């Protein structure tokens, strides 16, 4: 985010907070309903992020991705230690959450490396839909702000 965009948001926070917080709250509520466990959902999102950052991910059509109609999802592998370090969730908790996600068919393990399965996206479609709404509301809200003289 550019400095001027951050400045615009900071200067107009009281104006943009209702829209942005509403979209974020909706996203978190749906995430919690999806699993009733925000730590689990955060672990899943971190693993999804590693796929979203991988070369080739952006070339996947949203329709194919959200239907699960892909053989494999491009990935930048991650591991339990990396997830624990980046999230602040204790390593043992991450390990338990990862094992649950593997049993559900949402995560695959190869040695110590973890990746998302194609099934993770359709199984989390409502979460993805709320994330898309969050991004759209954020963009529209910021676009309406007046420029700030830096």
| pLDDT(129) > 90 | no
pLDDT-based confidence at 48, cuts 50/70/90? very high
Instruction: Say if residue 1's pLDDT is above 50.
Output: no
Tokens of 50: 């590693």
The pLDDT tens digits of the residues spanning 96-114 come to 999 999 999 999 999 999 9
138-145: long-range pairs with CB below 8 Å, 24+: 138/20, 138/23, 140/19, 141/16, 141/19, 141/20, 142/5, 142/8, 142/9, 142/16, 145/8, 145/9, 145/12, 145/15, 145/16
Domains of the chain listed by start with CATH number: 3-143 (1.10.10.10)
**Mean pLDDT on 22-27:** 87
């Amino acid at each position: 985010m550019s400095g001027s965009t951050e400045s615009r948001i900071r200067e107009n926070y009281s104006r943009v907070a209702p829209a942005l917080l509403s979209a974020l709250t909706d996203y978190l509520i749906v995430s919690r309903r999806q699993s009733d466990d925000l730590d689990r959902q955060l672990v899943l999102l971190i693993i999804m992020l590693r796929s979203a950052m991988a070369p080739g991910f952006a070339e996947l059509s949203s329709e194919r991705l959200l239907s699960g109609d892909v053989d494999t999802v491009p990935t930048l592998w991650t591991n339990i230690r990396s997830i624990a370090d980046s999230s602040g969730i204790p390593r043992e908790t991450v390990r338990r959450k990862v094992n649950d996600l593997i049993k559900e068919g949402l995560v695959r393990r190869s040695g110590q490396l973890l990746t998302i399965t194609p099934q993770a996206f359709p199984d989390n479609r409502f979460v993805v839909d709320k994330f898309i709404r969050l991004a759209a509301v954020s963009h529209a809200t910021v676009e309406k702000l007046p420029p700030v003289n830096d």
